[in-house]
Amino acid sequence: MSIIETERLILRPWREEDAAELYRWACDPEVGPAAGWAPHESVEDSLNVLRTILIKPDTWAVTQKGSDAPVGSVGIFPSPCSLAEKQPEIGYWLARPLWGKGYIPEAVRALIGLCFDRGAEAVWCAHAELNRRSRRVIEKCGFVYRCTENWTSALGDVRKTRYYSIRREDWQPAAGTGLARPQLDSAEVESGRPMVVPANGSEQQP
């Protein structure tokens, strides 16, 4: 799986040695529950999540240029939305100290470009109705609302979830937006790798 470079970020595969940094951010009660997963309870808990969920194709650690330490996660998986017909959906989460800096829109736009490079006709994203921060990310990236459906989170509660998509013909490349297109090798574009199973739409489980 290739490393993806944007203007300010490096998206790279997760590694087991990321457990301590993952725990540092995923233990925050403001991060996980809003996305539908429980805060991590220990470094060992984070290591288990790395082994069973994050170290898989199409899931990247978000790092800032100049630092290899992960501060969030982004991934691509088949959308569970009934209208999406298993088209790709993008999920994400970010460490709370970095909220509001535009990092996740930058990463999401890179993955939108990757999905279209792979041949997708539409890309999906979603948020629980009460997750206004995630809604702002989705709107900034140009997604259009399509429907609302129920989704059962990893915490066991049923949440009304708003699904959005952007079609290939409506996609605006990153030129002029301050966001760089991902730097990919041809094998990554053509690989057709299996997609990671979501914890919830755009609020991906860490």
Supply the DSSP string of 1-32, one letter for each residue. Answer: ---EE-SSEEEEE--GGGHHHHHHHHT-TTTH
Asked whether residue 24 is assigned to any structural domain, the reply reads: yes
Q: Does the pLDDT value for residue 180 go beyond 70? A: no
pLDDT digits (tens, 9 = 90+) for 69-124: 999 999 999 999 999 998 999 999 999 999 999 999 999 999 999 999 999 999 99
Asked whether residue 159 is assigned to any structural domain, the reply reads: yes
Alpha-carbon gap, residue 198 to 74, rounded angstroms: 11
The amino acid at residue 9 is L
Total domain count for the chain?
1
C-alpha of 88 from chain center: 11
This prediction's pTM: 0.83
For residue 136, what is the enclosing H or E element? helix 132-140
Asked whether residue 205 is assigned to any structural domain, the reply reads: no
Q: What is the pLDDT of residue 174?
A: 58
Asked whether residue 198 is assigned to any structural domain, the reply reads: no
CATH number for position 157: 3.40.630.30
For the ranges 15-19, 32-36, 167-171, 185-189, the one whose mean pLDDT is highest: 15-19
Lowest mean pLDDT among 38-47, 48-57, 147-156: 147-156
Asked whether residue 25 is assigned to any structural domain, the reply reads: yes
Q: Does the pLDDT value for residue 154 go beyond 70? A: yes
Q: Does the pLDDT value for residue 194 go beyond 70? A: no
Please give the residue range of the domain that contains residue 56: 4-190
* Average pLDDT score over residue span 41-64: 97
Asked whether residue 18 is assigned to any structural domain, the reply reads: yes
C-alpha of 196 from chain center: 10
Asked whether residue 206 is assigned to any structural domain, the reply reads: no
Asked whether residue 202 is assigned to any structural domain, the reply reads: no
